[in-house]
Amino acid sequence: MDYLIFGLIAYLLGAIPSGLIVGKLGYGIDIREHGSGNLGGTNTFRVLGIKAGLVVTTADILKGTLAVVLPILFQADVIPLIIGLFAVVGHMYPVFAGFKGGKAVATSAGVVLGVNPLLFVIMLGTFFLMLYLSKYVSLSSMVTGIVTIIVTVIQQEYGLTIVISLMTLFVIYRHRTNIKRIINKTEPKITWM
């Protein structure tokens, strides 16, 4: 029963469309009609700027964190990491936005933050290093997932390895069009780093 309750709560948290809310309330814009059409932080940065991008990315991270922290606080008989997966699915397929959401990067990172803050810091470092080297947000996101898997294997945290592997597969799947654009050299690069 706890899995059902906290899984549903996590899904609904993940399904809160931060990009849509910030775009409509703050700028009178439906972000799905601009840029890549994606509801995530990257498209928000591109379309609405740094301030909005930071707000949306932070909100998306906190959705994942809250999803895993709530069952811990309520001492629910669940594995918080598994509950976190429901938040990630909610972010990708939000009931509040026609089941068309983001690419799961920030919310996945938020799940990790909730259970292993040090690993979250390693993820951030990896992401920004890759971003500096490649200038591709999408590639940096995917490589960060793969590096995080390797780190959890080295740390022998195999439960975390399994869940992060699933989240990384989600991220790679959601970036399949980006992968094609990277290969074709048509993927947009950042210009601020």
pLDDT (mean) for 62-70: 97
Residue 189 lies in a domain: no
- Contacts of residue 10, defined as CB under 8 A and 6 or more positions apart, other chains included, come to 67, 68, 70, 83, 84, 85, 86, 87, 90
What are 17's two structure tokens? Answer: 């469309």
Residue 30 lies in a domain: yes
Residue 188 lies in a domain: no
R_g over Cα of the chain: 16
**pLDDT at position 153 over 90:** yes
Whole-prediction pTM value?
Answer: 0.94
pLDDT (mean) for 71-75: 95
pLDDT of residue 128: 96
**pLDDT at position 192 over 90:** no
Residue 116 lies in a domain: yes
Residue 190 lies in a domain: no
Residue 191 lies in a domain: no
Number of compact structural domains in the chain = 1
Residue 117 lies in a domain: yes
The answer to whether residues 39 and 23 touch, using CB atoms and an 8 Å cutoff, is: no
The answer to whether residues 14 and 90 touch, using CB atoms and an 8 Å cutoff, is: yes
Range of the domain at 80: 2-183
Nearest-CA neighbor of 138 among 58, 40, 62? 40
